[in-house]
Amino acid sequence: MLENGDTWGVYIDGGLIWGAFHGTTSSSGTTLSGSGTDFYILYKMISPGSYSGTYSAKGSIRVATSAGVEFSGTYDTAYDQAASLATLGGTFSGSGVTGLSSTQSISVAITDHGIISASSGGCAVSGTATPRASGKNIFDVALNFAGASCALGNGSSASGIGYYDSARRSLLVMGMKSDGSDGFIYVGTKP
């Protein structure tokens, strides 16, 4: 949940990503609620969804979704570190998936100026990563896709967020097409 209420999340169980969510959250006191789009990756389904729960600032969160998914978590202090393009830069090996496609192995290169490039099976990806003005460890990501085999479509674009865990050298990127019809998740690590 970002400072403007924009909310991104993934459902992980047993090390596998089962689904993802993008929406908007509002809060009052220790309760929160929101709505957006659920991506059931294992079943290749996209549908509107809502959620509600409780939280403690920089502590814990417990949420139930309209799809019957319940989850809890604790605050990660790495979020309070400033996003750094110099730290992010490198080549990542990992996997990407859209709401309606199968998982693909993808190598992604990011320069220390935030220029992103990747290719997979005839789909070329280009874009940028920019530290958010909030000063938190989150990047704004904008990507363009070119090629007939692109899961989001030839000539499509998507925007979202990226989070880099420097201790694990791992990157999580989530994005949505501008029309909200589909999105993607990428998880990768640097050697």
pLDDT of residue 41: 78
Q: Which of 7-21, 107-121, 129-143, 145-159 has the lowest mean pLDDT?
A: 7-21
Q: Between the ranges 92-106, 117-131, 174-188, where is the mean pLDDT highest?
A: 117-131
Distance CA 191, CA 181 (A): 34
Q: Using CA of residue 74, residue 52, residue 69, residue 36, what is the dihedral sign?
A: negative
**C-beta of residue 175 within 8 angstroms of C-beta of residue 163:** no
End-to-end CA distance of the chain: 29
pLDDT of residue 30: 96
Long-range CB contacts (within 8 A, 24+) of 67-74: 67/38, 67/40, 69/11, 69/19, 71/11
Provide the H-helix boundaries in the chain: 85-88
pLDDT 10s digits, 79-100: 999 999 999 999 999 998 888 7
**C-beta of residue 103 within 8 angstroms of C-beta of residue 121:** no
pLDDT 10s digits, 1-44: 898 999 998 877 776 777 788 999 999 999 999 999 888 777 78
